[in-house]
Amino acid sequence: MDMSSGRPRVVIADDHALLREAARHVLEVAGIAVVGDAADGYQTLALTTRLAPDVLVLDLAMQRPSGIEVIDALAERAPAVRVLVLTASADPDDVAAAIAHGAYGYLTKDAHPDALPCAVRLAFTGQLALPRDSARMLLRAARAHIGASERMSRSERTARAACALLSAREQRILSLLASGAPNGSIGRTLAISEHTVKQHVTRIFEKLEVCNRVQAAVVAERARIVR
């Protein structure tokens, strides 16, 4: 993943050819390179593993295997690929499941076309891409889903021990992150640059051994450092 160019490489996975072509057009007009597309789960896994794109735009309703199963498989086969879900369902449970399994964002197919390249760029830079008007609600749903997942379980004591590894500044950033604040807002609150915030967030993820902002938020809430 080469973020220095600022131009994400994308694979689109959807079982409808018309949707794939429409998404390709929207992304390419926005200056984002689409390097391939796939029509089912097996094609998606094979193509994504071979091409190693920066972002996979994925429909949850994929067949053979499902979208969630694709996300899980890519966590092992191509962990550097960031998955952005683009699907028909607006069900909060589906959003929660996708984020809990490692997706970097979630869009519904009735979103404005401009939302897709914006979401791709957010996922490309490691930020969670969710509709602004519902982000807080979806984060709460995702945290609840993760809390019920055995593979993500952490006791309060373990969470506190993990957060004890963070500096005071990192704990403050984690608290803001867990409240749903994006990097730009965190930077303005703390009077630091967005680039500096991103560096802190990366170190926080490493210290907490988590992969994304929702997982970090779960640890923060269990450690009771959310303000």
- Tens of pLDDT, residues 144-176: 555 555 444 445 667 777 787 888 899 999 999
Distance CA 155, CA 84 (A): 29
Q: What angle do CA 83, 89, 91 make, to 5 degrees?
A: 100
The owner of tokens 């131009």 is 7
pTM of the model: 0.65
- Over its length of 227 residues, how does the chain's per-residue pLDDT go in tens digits? 545 457 899 999 999 999 999 999 999 999 999 999 999 999 999 999 999 999 999 999 988 899 999 998 998 899 899 999 999 998 877 887 887 788 888 999 999 999 999 999 989 988 878 765 555 555 565 555 555 554 444 456 677 777 878 888 999 999 999 888 889 999 999 999 999 999 999 999 988 888 888 888 888 887 777 65
Domains by residue range for the chain, with CATH: 3-143 (3.40.50.2300), 154-222 (1.10.10.10)
